[in-house]
Amino acid sequence: MQALNAADDLINEYQGWAVDDLETLRQQFLKISASRDVDKKEIAEMFDIAHEIRGQGGSFGFALISAIADSLCKFIEGRQQLSDPELEVIKVHIMAMKAVFHQQLKGRQKDLAEQLTELLQALRNKVNLNASFSS
């Protein structure tokens, strides 16, 4: 029984950490959005935060958070600059993570995870395709 209580406490603590991490990610996004002079260090910091969220989400029962953060990591990784459409993709990921926490969508959520992953992939592909045509 004590072990279960400890696990519940840890999950509750995680939610606090994750919300803090998500707020840090949002603040980094706002900073980057406001400043059109973005360097790769700032983008890497955003990646690191998303990577942390991705790693912890699944461990604490928020598989959707991990899926969304994984999509965000894949999108951000290796970028040197961020265009307005790319910033919108990041914004959508942050909004999706906030919604998952707000709705307390714990567990696998298999159908929703598949649909959300597919939707985010399509969004990333569209922005990446448009960027390659304008280069």
Q: Which residue has the higher pLDDT, 75 or 105?
A: 75
AA identity, residue 2:
Q
| pLDDT tens digits along 27-72 | 999 999 998 778 889 999 999 999 999 988 877 778 899 999 999 9
Q: Please give the torsion angle defined by the CA atoms of residues 45, 13, 112 and 43, in that order, rounded to the nearest 10 degrees.
A: 0
The domain defined by 2-134 folds into Four Helix Bundle (Hemerythrin (Met), subunit A) (1.20.120)
Q: Where are the domains of the chain?
A: 2-134
Task: Tell me the β-bridge partners of 116.
Answer: none
Task: Give the DSSP letter of residue 80.
Answer: S
Distances (CA, A) of 16 to 2, 66, 86, 114: 21, 16, 28, 26
Where is average pLDDT lowest: 33-37, 84-88, 110-114? 33-37
Task: Decide if 69 contacts 97 (C-beta within 8 A).
Answer: yes
What is the pTM (predicted TM-score) of this model?
A: 0.82
pLDDT (0 to 100) of residue 91 = 95
